[in-house]
Chain A
Amino acid sequence: MVNQILVFPILFPLLSAITMLFFRRSVAIQRIISILSSFLLLAAAGWLLAAVISGGMLTVQVGGWRAPFGITLAADLLSAVMVAASALIGLTTVLYSLATIDRERERFFYYPLLQFLMMGINGAFLTGDVFNLYVWFEVMLISSFVLLVLGGTPVQLEGAIKYVTINLLSSSVFLAAAGILYGMAGTLNMADLARITPHLPQQNLLTVVSVLFMITFGVKAAVFPLFFWLPASYHTPPVAVSAIFAGLLTKVGVYALIRFFTTIFSHEAVFIDEVLLAASALTMLSGVLGAAAQYDFRRLLSFHIISQIGYMIFGLALHSPLAIAGALFYIVHNIIAKTNLFYISGIVERITGTYDLKKAGGVYAGHPVIGMLFLIPALALAGIPPLSGFWAKFVIIKAGFQAGEYAVTGIALLVGLLTLFSMMKIWNEAFLKDLPQPQVEGNRYETMGFGRRLLFFSPVVVLGLVTVLLGVFFEPVFRLAETAAAQLLDTQAYITPVLGRVK
């Protein structure tokens, strides 16, 4: 049964994490299992994507209990694409971790935790049930809590307190909203909700619930004004952890927003869209302005995560097929480019010994190739053609003009310019200018062996290549995004495969 491949992206990370627990004394075996499982996950995700493209939406009724009574797993094109992107990031992060994570963290279950995190993320993308989504969020968050504090340095703990507190708060809002929704609709199956919610008598209360969901996912996605936890925590853990958080965690929030406000609450569009539109403009602006003041490499990138989230929310708020397709393309582009930038910040730190841009410098003179590798995702993020970011911004802005939202579209253009300014700041400070103080003895980059260096650079090269390819082969990729957007806007296309009957 081809449908059952749907569970592999959840099952593989889980099984490999459990297997690693048996080898807790042997880090070498854990590393091998991590690599194998990440490749398997990527293969399964690719298979899933291919199956969804060729055969349409896949569903699994877990335990054989029919929807809406049991738990449904469902993969439409959006879910399949997200799983594929996250599998790619998972693989590159494992490779990067092999080169960078210290022995102490490795011994304290770093690799199993990474797999549990992947399981949570994939589960969130694949579930077709609101309460189940809550559970996957928790799986993901608990793994991320531990990854964030692993090592226990004071700065990590300080960041983690903010991160954990705000996320627990948002989880409780999620739970409350799910409870109210269940009380009203009598079901939490997403397809069933999509069928029932338009006919519920208490439409006002439904608006309240949808705002609650917007708040909880807004926190996870770091939407204005709920973003302050992100730049406070993302620069504290090891860079591999920062990278996978930056690439995937906020995007799960964006995914949930898209899922809720297209599939489930689509009829609510008018009211929510206005709120989302205002939030997206402020998110873009506050992120990029916050970044302008930063001189810590990773903090600067963290603020850019926020401004980029703004573009995705902008696409969702416009709610036209073109805008949603643009938002989907933007998510994929951003997952790849942003993670890559974090990887490169780790490389720069290895070479110059610091994340502080004022103290760093001279990377381009000593290592011109690394400079080129940085420019690919940096220029993609700023939206320079022909890289993926240009197309992503182009489509969103075109959709903005089509919808007549000139003010917010103007902000989006301005933010693109400021992003370029930010990237050039990094380029000038870390790459172009001379190293202010000559390197002290014991450079941790020069002492790396060839194998480690290969693991260190392969993720950057692979993701850079994907960024270029996404730009060059924009046409077919975007057609895929358009199909996914059409699926999202046609609720019946989601309801029928899950519930198995048309009503």
Chain B
Amino acid sequence: MYSIILATASRYLLLLLQMFSLFLLFRGHNEPGGGFVGGLVAAAAYALYFIANGIAEAEKLLQIDPFYLIAAGLLLAVSSTMPSLAAGMNVMTGIWFDTGTALFGKVGTPLLFDTGVYFLVLGVTLEIIFSLAEGDLQ
């Protein structure tokens, strides 16, 4: 069932929810939030768009196969262990850089890990939703 109200709203909501998911991702280290919740919210945004506009539109919007989001997320998360290994410290030790700006604050390898989790969760959720939707169509 196509609803023009939902379809129109979902376009704006998609953007808003994605911004909110990034906000959750970045505040995650010190306050409630983080990669997992952020990824879920981002996936919810796409799910809403798919409910309003159909699976074909949603896949076109995403452009990338969610499976590669999973792989990229895993790779990002694992790569967060590399800097400490290269620096000869205990593996997975957090390394932080102070950017000196109020907006970013301190940036470190845990953020890399969180970003990996973000993409992983987004990818897994979308993969599940898309497979279910495709199964439904057949």
Contact = CB atoms under 8 A, between A and B. Distances in A.
Contacts of A1: 88-89
A62 B68 CA distance: 28
A64 B74 contact: no
B90 A18 contact: no
Nearest to A1: B88
A64 B93 contact: yes
A64 B71 CA distance: 27
A425 interface: no
A21 B93 contact: no
For chain A, which range describes its interface: under 10, 10 to 19, 20 to 34, or 35 or more residues?
10 to 19
Contacts of B88: 1, 4
B67 A24 contact: yes
Contacts of B94: 63-64
A27 to B, nearest CB: 16
Contacts of B78: 11, 14-15, 18
A18 B81 contact: no
B15 interface: no
B89 A64 contact: yes
A7 interface: yes
B6 interface: no
A169 B71 CA distance: 31
Interface string A1-45: 100100100010011001101101000000000000000000000
Given A18-B74, A18-B75, A60 B67 contact: no
Nearest to B75: A18
B70 interface: yes
A96 to B, nearest CB: 26
Contact of A63 (B68, B71, B93): B93
Interface in B40-74: 67-68, 70-71, 74
Contacts of B16: none
A19 B88 CA distance: 24
Contact of A21 (B74, B84, B91, B92): B74
Contacts of B74: 18, 21
A22 B90 contact: no
Contact of A22 (B71, B81, B85): B71
Given A4-B85, A14-B78, A18-B74, A62 B67 contact: no
Interface string B108-134: 000000000000000000000000000
A61 interface: yes
Given A4-B85, A18-B75, A18-B78, A62 B92 contact: yes
A457 B126 CA distance: 43
Say what secondary structure dominates the interface of chain A: helix
Interface string A46-68: 00000000000000111110000
A64 B74 CA distance: 22
B85 A21 contact: no
Contact of B92 (A18, A19, A63): A63
A19 B91 CA distance: 20
B90 A63 contact: yes
Nearest to A7: B91
Interface string B14-39: 00000000000000000000000000
Interface in A442-501: none
B122 to A, nearest CB: 15
A452 to B, nearest CB: 29
B75 A61 contact: no
Given A4-B85, A7-B85, A14-B78, A21 B71 contact: yes
B91 A62 contact: yes
A18 B91 contact: no
Nearest to B74: A18
B90 A62 contact: yes
Interface string B74-112: 110010010011001111111000000000000000000
A162 to B, nearest CB: 28
B71 A60 contact: no
Interface of A: 1, 4, 7, 11, 14-15, 18-19, 21-22, 24, 60-64
17 contacts: A4-B90, A7-B81, A11-B78, A15-B78, A18-B74, A18-B78, A19-B75, A21-B67, A21-B70, A21-B71, A24-B67, A62-B90, A62-B91, A63-B90, A63-B91, A64-B93, A64-B94
Kindly list the 6 A-B residue pairs having the minimum CB-CB distance in the complex, ordered from nearest.
Answer: A21-B71, A64-B93, A64-B90, A63-B92, A18-B74, A7-B91
Interface of B: 67-68, 70-71, 74-75, 78, 81, 84-85, 88-94
Given A14-B78, A61-B90, A63-B93, 19 more contacts: A4-B88, A4-B91, A7-B85, A7-B91, A11-B81, A18-B71, A18-B78, A21-B67, A21-B70, A21-B71, A22-B71, A22-B75, A60-B91, A62-B90, A62-B91, A63-B91, A64-B89, A64-B92, A64-B94
